[in-house]
Amino acid sequence: MIRVLLPAHLRILAHVDGEVKLEVEGKVTQRSVLDALEACYPMLRGTIRDHVTQQRRPFLRFFACAEDLSHEPPDAPLPDAVVTEAEPFLVVAAVAGG
Amino acid sequence: MSEVRVLVGTRKGAFVLVSDGKRQQWDISGPHFGGWEIYHLKGSPADPNRLYASQSNGWSGQLIQRSDDGGKTWQPMDNKFVYDGVPGTHQWYDGTPHPWEFKRVWHLEPSLTDPDTVYAGVEDAALFRSSDGGQSWRELSGLRGHGSGPHWQPGAGGMCLHTIVLDPSNPDRIFIAISSAGAFRTDDAGETWRPINRGLKSAHIPDPLAEVGHCVHHVAMHPSRPGVLFMQKHWDVMRSDDAGESWQEVSGNLPSDFGFAIDVHAHQPDTIYVVPIKSDSEHYPPDGKLRVYRSLTGGNDWEALTKGLPQRDCYVNVLRDAMAVDSLDACGVYFGTTGGQVYASSDAGDHWAPIARDLPAVLSVEVQTLP
């Protein structure tokens, strides 16, 4: 299982508390994790990456193991600690006022 | 007894206000989608329990929500708004070409007859339609493709298609308005479009009488007289008696002919309402007095409606989609402010009272009159 922590507004949208646990087939990458996330929670489609370009939305970033993975290729493998459930894959929203 | 349901979109969620036909006591539910911007929500005239809501924020973009029980519960629908074909470019603020990029849905207009058909006006300006209750969206690309699209330019709020008016006498006729391109009309259900801006005069653009480029803020129509349109432009209140073929200014004695909202009395097609706002950049009521102006003559002669509204130190704005009427015998008029108040009048504007005082900034107000 892959642990994913969503920002608060997406947890509310997906009706989840705390972390999400996902079964991911094959290589564990940003793309495969987000594909699995959107398959389980269709309401998240388009909210983390653009429908058409599949680009990460600019005010969201991806982290794991205290590393910023936002600019890694979407098919690059995620750290082993994410694969072994030791660490979550974090979707982090920019801190914003208002 | 009849019931009135007021649908309020705000910067931080949606609220549903319900009252009986007396309109004295109001129950408020919400916030729905707390923390999200709700640019607009509106009910289907064909099935009043079917509501559509536009939900968005800067982190995660656009969502569409649908309720089938009058706003008690909601389900997310399809949020994929993809421009038809190669999107092309419009003008940026500095006149350079800028690619069409979807940002948000400003306005949702349900069909007058089919609860599953709904139109979405979006930024960057385009019109989309869903025929399956919001499960999928298709652009009516004849609007952007009719020829003037590359010359459209955004207003300060973005290049948004914010107004959609359906003609109850002709299902093939739709009016839309874009800031700051102007008003457009289709007579073939959205396949082809043409600008309807003759008579508009905008001193702030290089050609004040240009075919496109006018910053239309809102357009309203009375359903019994669909050929007559009323428009609040960036400056000027305008009227057309020929379905937009030509326009005449009817600002008359208004203290400011700038404003955003405009609406028509439910039973008197020549009784119209605006909220004058000071501009160019102030965007609050003149003299700190929140006044609705009513014309009983379809424009030109206006009277200030002030009873129950703050007449000093008031510096809120009333945005383009934030005014609506009910259809009870004594027509109710409603509007919301950027200060979070929703004011209502149950006597066509003679007297006003707040029905909500402390909401987030109000972006839109729609009203349903229920049996």
Q: Which of residues 61-90 of A touch B (CB under 8 A)?
A: none
| pLDDT value, residue B297 | 98
B225 and B269 Cβ atoms separated by less than 8 Å: yes
Q: Is B80 in contact with A45 (Cβ distance < 8 A)?
A: yes
Each residue of B151-188: pLDDT tens digit? Answer: 999 988 899 999 999 999 999 999 999 998 999 999 99
Domains in chain B, CATH or no CATH each: 40-329 (2.130.10.10)
ipTM for the complex?
A: 0.90
Q: Within chain B, which residues score under 70 in pLDDT?
A: none
Number of A/B CB contacts below 8 angstroms equals 46
Residue of A nearest to B79 (CA): A46
- Using the predicted structure, report yes or no on whether residue A97 has a pLDDT greater than 80: no
Burial of B327 (0-12, 13-18, 19+ CB in 10 A): middle
- Among partner residues A51, A57, A98, which is closest to B59 by beta-carbon distance? A57
Buried b (16+ CB within 10 A) or exposed e, B143-161: bbeeebbeebbbbebebbb
CATH number of this structure's domain A2-93, picked from the four choices 3.40.50.1100, 2.60.40.3880, 3.10.20.30, 3.60.15.10? 3.10.20.30
| pLDDT number for residue B156 | 87
| Cα–Cα separations (whole angstroms), residue B153 to B89, B90, B278 | 10, 6, 23
In chain A, domain spans = 2-93
Instruction: Report pLDDT digits (tens) over B304-314.
Output: 999 999 999 99
pLDDT at B96 (0 to 100) = 95
pLDDT digits (tens, 9 = 90+) for A15-74: 999 999 999 999 999 999 999 999 999 999 999 999 988 999 999 999 999 999 999 999
Tell me what pLDDT residue B104 has.
97
CB-CB neighbors (< 8 A) of A98 in chain B: 11
Q: Which residues face A63 on adjacent strands?
A: A68, A90
Chain A residues with beta carbon closer than 8 angstroms to that of B80? 45-46, 51
Chain B CB within 8 Å of residue A50 CB: yes
pTM of the model: 0.96
DSSP, collapsed to helix, strand or coil, labels residue B370 as strand
| A48 vs B contacts (CB less than 8 Å) | 60
Q: Are B190 and B171 in contact (CB under 8 A)?
A: no
